Structure 1
């Protein structure tokens, strides 16, 4: 018999080995993510559909949502927190992200001296604990023992000083600017990385056409980094509508004065766990958490399916 294999055996399909080890390596991460994120989310959605009747859990459907939006007391607190959350987000979008883009543009200047020091100094606050940041700024802005009145007096601006954290009209803006100060380094570094990713050939071609300086940034660089700006915008949206820690540290769980800094995160905390004379209500807390999830889901979906698909991308 001939040892030459038949044509069918030679041209038959080659079976690739099953890469079962990929699943083994992914399994621990999947288990941890499911335990920390997926299962709590499912339980929160389930809990929002139940309430306690005579000490026993009873299915009420959308009854908790009707109470949240229909009851005068619940609706007033919810819409106030949502309004403050929107203002909190708008301040970050109009102040934090443009400053981050401007700082990244300046740090990307090739001849800038001490650029590494500036990057480190601006990014350093993002590494600090929110407890430290909140405590420090409460000391700085305190009208009794704070240093801001003294520093403003040195430059002749003490007459403009005001207890910003203690006035309902300025407390939310003050807390938002503290958050901007802490996290402006994140959009700065992301935009800076996007600017460094622009090929030198594109910049040299622009310079040959006489496009230099800020004109080069607006006409050449900015269109190329729009996808990065879009990612930063959606990260800002998700982070702001999940915010809780800094406001809790600076203004407490009551988010004073007169709930002027109350956002959805602090409202959720007081509702679910209770605070002072207010008893905790797990069902209503889960309902507020579900509404927060739906708001974030709607915003992310709008970006992914309506904005990102129309955004022009450039391949180099």
Structure 2
């Protein structure tokens, strides 16, 4: 007669605090938002309208134009991070992992420090730096003979969003750098020594040996970048305000959600339409993450060390 396996109650006991906290601050608000998006204001309070809020968001020109503008800006914000931040982070990690590099610990700390700064501090400082009236950017460019290139980048529609994206890159490039740096350090010395014995050294070693081994880490960084950029709000709000000027050129889904949900100036807040926008953001992020998990991650070759 087979012995009955004991019930491992201790697993539930250890998991319960984390599950309860996560459910209280993540799961319950998520379902509350989904539920709120299915209702609208009526004379008697609120009434169930099903998917009508989403039809208004995507079908009403007054709402759809603002939504697609914010979504397009979000995609550009993400593209700048993917094309600038992550490659620079990989390059910095490769340089800092060189065994003969002196003061590498100092460089890592200096590059990572901006990531722990407040968005308010970063946004305010860069507004001062780039100000055409009292900023130091014109003087710095003048010192190297490039003052003619200066423009009020935060005040021009064609430059404002890219400028803010590059400011965000400056602040957060330390995160992919440290993650890739940790992945490079996890590569066994035996693999590197074998490559050197075969005459593969320098950057050729990085491209042919190290890069394929850290592709899973790069994939995770890409997903984190995608999720983080679609949740972006703070830097835009601090630098350009809730209206995300000039002329909504820096408006992203986060600021669009804020104005809709809470209202701003003469615009009254509508929690139900705001919940619809938040639900659409959740769907976009969910689809993006699922595409990575099922189309990219499953095809990545992983190596066990």
Fold shared, TM-score > 0.5 on shorter chain: yes
Corresponding position of 1:150: 139
Corresponding position of 2:64: 75
Distance (Å, rounded) in 1 between the aligned partners of 2:202 and 2:296:
29
Corresponding position of 1:52: 41
Which of 173, 189, 205 does residue 200 from structure 1 map onto? 189
1:314 is paired with a residue of what secondary structure?
A: coil
The alpha-carbon deviation at position 178 of structure 1 amounts to 0.4
- 1:228 lines up with 2:217 in the alignment: yes
The within-5 A match list for 1:176-191 is: 176-191=165-180
Distance (Å, rounded) in 2 between the aligned partners of 1:72 and 1:302:
29
1:18 is paired with a residue of what secondary structure?
A: coil
Unmatched tracts of structure 2, length 5 or more: none
- 1:98 lines up with 2:78 in the alignment: no
* TM-score, structure 2 as length reference: 0.98
Corresponding position of 2:151: 162
- 1:66 lines up with 2:55 in the alignment: yes
Distance (Å, rounded) in 2 between the aligned partners of 1:305 and 1:314:
19
2:268 is paired with a residue of what secondary structure?
A: coil
Structure 1 vs Structure 2 CA RMSD: 1.0
Which of 242, 253, 264 does residue 231 from structure 2 map onto? 242
Corresponding position of 1:287: 276
Deviations 1:59-84 (A, max 9, x none): 11110011001111101100000000
Deviations 1:163-203 (A, max 9, x none): 10000010000000000000000000000000001111111
The alpha-carbon deviation at position 14 of structure 1 amounts to 4.2
Which of 126, 132, 140 does residue 137 from structure 1 map onto? 126
Corresponding position of 2:261: 272
Corresponding position of 2:198: 209
Distance (Å, rounded) in 1 between the aligned partners of 2:239 and 2:190:
48
Distance (Å, rounded) in 2 between the aligned partners of 1:55 and 1:271:
22
2:264 is paired with a residue of what secondary structure?
A: coil
Aligned residues: 305
Distance (Å, rounded) in 1 between the aligned partners of 2:49 and 2:4:
54
Greater C-alpha radius of gyration: 1
Deviations 1:221-278 (A, max 9, x none): 0000000000000000000011111111111111000000000000000000001111
Unmatched tracts of structure 1, length 5 or more: 1-11
1:113 is paired with a residue of what secondary structure?
A: coil
Corresponding position of 1:6: none
The alpha-carbon deviation at position 16 of structure 1 amounts to 4.8
Corresponding position of 1:25: 14
Corresponding position of 2:116: 127
The alpha-carbon deviation at position 15 of structure 1 amounts to 4.5
The alpha-carbon deviation at position 31 of structure 1 amounts to 1.5
Distance (Å, rounded) in 2 between the aligned partners of 1:246 and 1:19:
47
Distance (Å, rounded) in 1 between the aligned partners of 2:118 and 2:254:
18
1:259 is paired with a residue of what secondary structure?
A: coil
The within-5 A match list for 1:34-49 is: 34-49=23-38
Distance (Å, rounded) in 2 between the aligned partners of 1:238 and 1:58:
32
Deviations 1:122-159 (A, max 9, x none): 00000111111111111111111111111111111111
